[in-house]
Amino acid sequence: MSNYTEEINRRRTFAIISHPDAGKTTLTEKFLLYGGAINLAGSVKGKATARHAVSDWMEIEKERGISVTSSVLQFEYGGCCVNILDTPGHQDFSEDTYRTLMAADSAVMVIDASKGVEAQTRKLFKVCVMRRIPIFTFINKMDRDANDTFDLLDEIEKELGIATCPINWPVGSGKGFQGVYDREKKCLISYSGTEKGTREGSTTRIDVGDEGRLREKIGGEAADKLLEEIELLDGASTEFDLELVRRGELTPVFFGSALTNFGVEIFLKHFLEMAPAPLPRKADLGLIDPTEHEFSAFVFKIQANMNKAHRDRIAFLRICSGRFDAQMEVRHVQGNKVMRLTQPQQIMADERKILTEAYAGDIIGVFDPGIFSIGDTICMPKEKIQYEGIPTFAPEHFARVRQMDTMKRKQFVKGIEQIAQEGAIQIFQEYNTGMEEIIVGVVGVLQFDVLKYRLENEYNVEIRLENLPYEHIRWIENKDEVDIAGLTGTSDMKKVKDMKGNPLLLFVNAWSIGMTLDRNKGLVLAEFRRN
Ligand code: G4P
pLDDT digits (tens, 9 = 90+) for 420-458: 888 878 899 888 766 568 999 998 888 898 899 889 888
Probe residue for ligand 1, chosen from 24, 259, 261 as the CB with the greatest number of ligand atoms within 8 Å: 259
Residue 408 three-state SS:
helix
Share of the chain above pLDDT 70, in %: 85
d(CA 165, ligand 1 centre) in Å: 26
**What is the pLDDT, as a whole number, of residue 406?**
81
Probe residue for ligand 1, chosen from 16, 17, 21, 141 as the CB with the greatest number of ligand atoms within 8 Å: 21
Is residue 46's pLDDT more than 60? no
Q: What is the mean pLDDT of residues 33-42?
A: 54
Atom of ligand 1 nearest to the CA of 18: 3
Q: For 476-499, how does the pLDDT look when each residue is reduced to its tens digit (9 = 90+)?
A: 988 888 888 888 888 889 999 988
Distance CA 461, CA 404 (A): 8
The whole-chain average pLDDT of the chain stands at: 85
Q: What is the mean pLDDT of residues 60-86?
A: 71
Share of the chain above pLDDT 90, in %: 50
Residue whose CA is at the smallest distance from ligand 1 atom 24: 141
Is residue 185's pLDDT more than 80? yes
**What is the pLDDT, as a whole number, of residue 45?**
28
Q: What is the mean pLDDT of residues 129-142?
A: 93
What is the CB < 6 Å shell around ligand 1?
A: 18, 20-26, 47-48, 89, 140-141, 143-144, 257-259
Atom of ligand 1 nearest to the CA of 48: 36
d(CA 97, ligand 1 centre) in Å: 21
Distances in Å between the alpha carbon of 531 and those of 116, 281, 328, 383, 389? 36, 17, 27, 20, 6
Residue whose CA is at the smallest distance from ligand 1 atom 21: 259
Structural domains in the chain plus CATH codes: 9-69+89-274 (3.40.50.300), 281-379 (3.40.50.300), 393-530 (3.30.70.3280)
**What is the pLDDT, as a whole number, of residue 187?**
93
Probe residue for ligand 1, chosen from 18, 26, 255 as the CB with the greatest number of ligand atoms within 8 Å: 26
Q: How many CB atoms lie within 10 A of CB 200?
A: 20
Q: How confident is the model at residue 307 (pLDDT cuts 50, 70, 90)?
A: low
pTM: 0.82
Is residue 369's pLDDT more than 60? yes
d(CA 108, ligand 1 centre) in Å: 17
Is residue 57's pLDDT more than 50? no
With residues binned 3-state (H G I as helix, E B as strand, rest as coil), the percentages for the chain, rounded to 5, are 30, 30, 40
Is residue 321's pLDDT more than 80? yes
d(CA 66, ligand 1 centre) in Å: 13
Is residue 186's pLDDT more than 70? yes
Atom of ligand 1 nearest to the CA of 28: 7
Q: How confident is the model at residue 59 (pLDDT cuts 50, 70, 90)?
A: low
Q: Where is average pLDDT lowest: 98-112, 133-147, 228-242, 423-437?
A: 423-437
Is residue 138's pLDDT more than 60? yes
Distance CA 425, CA 89 (A): 18
Distance CA 87, CA 59 (A): 17
Q: How far is CA 73 from the centre of its chain?
A: 13
Is residue 245's pLDDT more than 50? yes
Q: What is the mean pLDDT of residues 281-295?
A: 95
Residue whose CA is at the smallest distance from ligand 1 atom 30: 21
